Structures are given as C-alpha cells and as structure tokens.
Amino acid sequence: MLDFEMISKAARTLKGVTRVTPLLESELLNKQLGFRLLVKAECLQRTGSFKIRGAYVKIASLTDQERSSGVVAFSSGNHAQGVAAAATELGVSSTIVMPDDAPAVKLRNTAEYGAKVITYDRITGDRAKIAQDVAEQTGAVLVPPYDDYVLMSGQGTIGIEIANQLSQRNISADALVCPAGGGGLIAGVATALKELAPETVIYSAEPDHFDDTRRSLAAGERIGNDPGHSSICDSIVTQIPGEKTFPINKSILAGGFAVSESDVYLAMQALADHLKLVSEPGGAAAVAAVMRDAEHWKGKTVVAVVSGGNVDLDTFRGFLRTTA
C-alpha cells in the first residue's frame, strides 16, 4: 500500500530533479469568486505536467538489470513525456504507445525527450496490448500511468509541497480539489495531506460522462463510464478508477465533482487572465469545479491543482475564443 513514508522517500529522490511549483492566487479573482482560491501550478512542472514526478521515482526504483531492458508506457501525452524525460535522464531507453490523434505538442515532445513513439488508432487499437507486446518482445518494464504504488508516491510529493507552502504562509485550507483520471495523482496528494493537513477536505474533479471516480465514491465500489462519449479533457479520460488507486481514494476523499466543457473553458480563461497560466483542459478541471460552485465555497480557502499545461497553442486560442 501507499503510505506517507513512501512519499517522503520519493521527495528525497526528486530533490533537485523536479521543480517546487508555485501556489498562486489572484486578489481580483478571489474578490470575484467570494472565496480564497490557491492554485497549485503543476502546468509549470518540467515536461508541462505532474507526471515526471511519478515516472522518475518509478524508473529510479528499478534494478540495473531491469533498466538495461528499457521501459515501455502507454499514454495520451503527459505520462508519455514524463516517462520519456525521466528515462533519458536515468540512462534508460523508452518506448511510448500513444494515440495518433494525441495533441501534436505531446507527440512531438515525447519523441524529443528521447522516446521511441508507437502510435495507434484510439477507436480500434488496444494501447495496453501494444505496450504489453513490446514488453514481452524486449523485456522492457511497463511503467503504468497510475495504478502503481511507487508511481503514486512520486505524485504525492505535490501534497508535501502544498502543505509546506500553506504552512509557510500561515494558511489553513478548508478543501483541496484535484483532477482525477485513473486516480493516481489525487491518491498521492490525499495520502500526503491526510498526514500533514488532516483538516483539509479533498475532492476529485472530472469531465461530464467521465466522472467514474465521483460515481464510484458515491457507490462505494468501482464503476466504469458508459461508452459513446468524448471530452476535450483528454489527459484525464479513463474508463474506470484504478484497482490500486480507488481503495486509497475511497478511504480519504469526501466526494467528487463533474464539470462541463463550458465550465472548463471558463476556468482556462480565468487561469490565463488572472494568473497568466496556460492550462490544458483536463488540467483545469479542478479550477472549473470550484469556480462553477463558487457559492458553496463562500468565505473559505480552497486549493485547486492544475495538473498540466500541454496543449497546442492554436487549440488553446480556440478554447479561449469559445468563452468570448
């Protein structure tokens, strides 16, 4: 299982490797919302998202023999870039399986970080099988996107940073909202904050039709999403919560929120206007959730994690024009 000691160990591994991303706020935005919003800007992390934290810790934990065969991963982009960058820094070869319709910036950057990229059709292909075939043929170690305790410990270092940043400013947060795909990020953050800031209530944020974590928390068991839907929040679209992540989230989280594409557009606009941040749609889901339900948070202090900022700029401008 994941515990705070594992996360503390991961923080030591990542010292000097990853950035301590800022905890930002805007007085004008706070005034408009009626509550204090603090944004953990993981979109400013190396590789443009939080994913390098878990990827580096996982690959660093491998034996020399395991490293010699390389690593393989599947991802729509953020995990891909994190694994590629971490592997290259640690002298390990990497192969990444990505959908051919992934944002161009994610495909390009993954290759430039040093990975061999294999693309597949998102509709007809099976990314997990392709990655498993690579692992069987080459002996490469599969680095999963979220369902791994060592990986989660790396993501949990965000929780340590948030707790330290709040303490340094003498702030107590009433709540934290975090984007959730497979649940590894929020599981790590929640585990750290349970130890360091147990008074903070934690919620997930997901796009409409892909709110499997929210519905699973309400039901008390893992529930998958219905087929036939799509979302602009490609970085947090998953079919069902992870087998390892969900028990952690079930034990700590208070619930979850689902947001519309309009909610996400408005959050991306607010982050750009007030904090000068470029966020990808999935990365902005937590901010979208707290902005939409501003009355619920009136007078409180809320932390929202912006998990990534890897979005093509032409696409980003199009999203912002949608709010005009």
Helix (H) or strand (E) holding 266: helix 261-275
Q: Indicate the burial class of 310 (C-beta count within 10 angstroms; 0-12, 13-18, 19 or more).
A: buried
- Write out the residue limits of the CATH 3.40.50.1100 domain(s) in the chain: 4-49+150-322, 51-147
Other C-beta atoms lying within 10 Å of the C-beta of residue 28: 10
Strands 141-142 and 116-120, bridge-based pairing: unpaired
Q: What is the pLDDT of residue 63?
A: 97
Give the CATH fold of the 51-147 domain: Rossmann fold (3.40.50)
CA-wise closest residue to 144 among 36, 250, 224, 58: 58
Render each residue's pLDDT in the chain as its tens digit; 324 residues: 999 999 999 999 999 999 999 999 999 999 999 999 999 999 999 999 999 999 999 999 999 999 999 999 998 789 999 999 999 999 999 999 998 988 888 899 999 999 999 999 988 889 889 999 999 999 999 999 999 999 999 999 999 999 999 999 999 999 999 999 999 999 999 999 999 999 999 999 999 999 999 999 999 999 999 998 999 998 999 999 999 999 999 999 999 999 999 999 999 999 999 999 999 999 999 999 999 999 999 999 999 999 999 998 898 999 888 876
CA dist 314 and 324 (Å) reads 16
Indicate the residue type of 301.
Answer: T
7 backbone dihedrals φ, ψ, rounded to 5°: -70, -40
Q: What is the CA radius of gyration of the chain?
A: 18
Q: What is the pLDDT of residue 324?
A: 64
DSSP one-letter code for 198: T
CATH architecture for the domain at 4-49+150-322:
3-Layer(aba) Sandwich (3.40)
